[in-house]
Structure 1
Amino acid sequence: MNAPTTTSMLRALPAEHRERLMHTAREVSFPQGARLFEEGGRADRFWIIRTGTVDLDMHVPGRRAAVIETLGRDELVGWSWLFAPHAWHMGAEATTPVRAYEFDGAAIRSMCEDDPVLGLAVAQWVGGIVAHRLNSARTRLLDLYAPYGSGR
């Protein structure tokens, strides 16, 4: 759960951009076991966790879904809303009761198009998270499914 500081919107974005995004947020909660989204589904929103934890998982053919990463306080859940075709690349499940800020993906994309400085800041923030999560997915899948000793 120790992700790099770039995953936290509070540390990654300048105060003026955070405030603009937070102005659009709504508070939501999910019970333990709730699925926030499924891999391949329509990605139209994202969340910043206030309390609780969320597991990101990935479908592995012929096996049960592999948990790639566990996210906690201040972390971004969902990045696929930013990139066409706006489909989730992983699934997400609340592993504890979760309280979060929810954002409308289309509204934030529109804000980013209208303000290129905001757009660049959001793209850099989310891009850093994407890079981290893809590396986590690769590492986790190798840990789970590669033959012993087949790593680098």
Structure 2
Amino acid sequence: MTSTTTLSAGLPAEHREALMRHAREVSFDAGVRLFEEGRRADRFWIVRTGTVALDLQVPGHRAAVIESLGHGELIGWSWHFTPGLWHLGGETTSPVRAWEFDADAVRELCAADPELGRAVAAWVGRVVAQRLHATRVRLLDLYAPYGSGSR
């Protein structure tokens, strides 16, 4: 199955190039919390190397790891929607090299180029749908009676 959440699959080449002009290279050691559920989402990343685990706080339980993301994957979509608060948490599970983007700058870029804005919105929407599905499946795996998970 080909992922539609990676940068290369998510955006046409001309829009990828426009977006990448706003990228800055960053590196993180393993075990670094990139963001916390409920806090301000003012940036996002695209993974170059390494992995990032997305997690969800579950009352009365340890945080549930929903998904692990790697090369080319978008880390963070909450910046795209008001009020701009993280819906999940994220932590590096290995050393990570990534491109980091300032959310305000990308929103301004999208407003200035409506075609790019629509492409980014469609890409982020696909990411949200995929993450919602992954969250549902993972929570059913962890907490539902045996056999009630994904079909």
TM-score by length of 1: 0.95
Structure 1 residues 1-152: aligned runs within 5 Å: 4-151=2-149
SS in 2 for 1:62: coil
Amino acid in structure 2 at the alignment position of 1:60: V
Q: CA–CA distance in 2 between the matches of 1:127 and 1:102?
A: 19
Q: CA–CA distance in 2 between the matches of 1:5 and 1:43?
A: 24
Q: CA–CA distance in 2 between the matches of 1:79 and 1:63?
A: 25
Q: CA deviation at 1:8?
A: 1.1
Q: CA deviation at 1:149?
A: 3.2
Amino acid in structure 1 at the alignment position of 2:91: E
Aligned residues: 150
Q: CA–CA distance in 1 between the matches of 2:14 and 2:50?
A: 26
SS in 1 for 2:85: coil
Q: CA–CA distance in 1 between the matches of 2:148 and 2:99?
A: 41
Amino acid in structure 1 at the alignment position of 2:76: G
More displaced stretch, 29-38 vs 7-16: 7-16
Q: CA deviation at 1:11?
A: 2.1
SS in 1 for 2:4: helix
Amino acid in structure 2 at the alignment position of 1:27: E
Q: CA–CA distance in 1 between the matches of 2:44 and 2:96?
A: 14
Q: CA–CA distance in 1 between the matches of 2:125 and 2:96?
A: 24
Query: Which 5+ residue runs of structure 1 have no aligned equivalent?
Result: none
Query: Which 5+ residue runs of structure 2 have no aligned equivalent?
Result: none
TM-score by length of 2: 0.96
